[in-house]
Structure 1
């Protein structure tokens, strides 16, 4: 496996872990365990940061002209996983706010 492929797999793995934690947090929301959900979202955010670091390194290398990685299906797959993990986390954060406010009698 090339260094680029290893970096791409790191993005996929970290994004997958992030998304899994976000959906685990959503199950906590269904149980009205908002503190537990927030804790899981913090773990999700940490996994996303790992993916973000690798993505940023690849983008920086490309922009500096150091190397121009070939954009293949594996990289597209990695970006897809990374973006959906961020979306999942963002949505679960909103669900926490909505359902917690509803339980407290708010809007």
Structure 2
């Protein structure tokens, strides 16, 4: 269970970092700041990789958490990095990650 706790914590931390990197910025704002864009891409990559490491039993018991979407976004970033839609990253960080963070925090609480 310690491994699952660590992976879930890493996933949550990456989601928080991505959300915070976007804040109130727009996609053009993110694109204009190469360091912020790179940091955002990295956090989504970590988020997706951590989601891939979650055991099936935990994923199946928590279908409200978008495990596969996180994994697919990671794969898109890693394998198609030259054609990333920053609008999608910004919208995901602003619109989807807050709910995911809350779900992850509730799940992590079950391991403590």
Q: TM-score, normalised by structure 1?
A: 0.48
CA radius of gyration, larger in = 1
